[in-house]
Amino acid sequence: MIGQHPNEMRTPMRRVRGLGPAHTGTGHFWHQRVTSAAGVLLSIALIVIAIALLGRSHAAAVQILASPLVAILMLLFIVNSAYHMWIGMQEIILDYVHEDKAKLFSLLANTFFCFAVAFASAFAILKLSFGV
């Protein structure tokens, strides 16, 4: 057949549906869109919090940031942003890095960086929130 790899064993219906070997492309697409929409709402909340902190003393700012609602909103923002960043960079790496070793190293570095940023940020918020 024209345009078909000689070792390809997919049926014509399988090729039409576009189900490749991973079967997860749509899931990543939707996760990226949902985290993007959540990021917009959480960013608005973060901007409101930042505006509320303007002109406050250090003690007043710590008191506002240590409140449970603000801490939860900031933690949600961090988790959402880190996950969104991880998915986005993973897609870029899979699309544009073609050498297997470089791809593996890049995926590992991406995962490590995203988790390190998320954990460090969450630690700072929890430390501020619990006053430790």
Q: What is the pLDDT of residue 132?
A: 63
- Which tokens is 49 given? 């919090």
Q: What is the pLDDT of residue 98?
A: 92
Per-residue confidence band for 11, with pLDDT thresholds at 50, 70 and 90: low
Whether 4 is covered by a domain: the verdict is no
Domain of 111?
31-130
The pLDDT of residue 72 is above 90: yes
Instruction: Count how many domains the chain has.
Output: 1
Q: What is the pLDDT of residue 92?
A: 94
Whether 86 is covered by a domain: the verdict is yes
Structure confidence by residue, pLDDT tens digits, 16-29? 665 555 555 678 78
User: Residue 7 carries which DSSP code?
Assistant: T
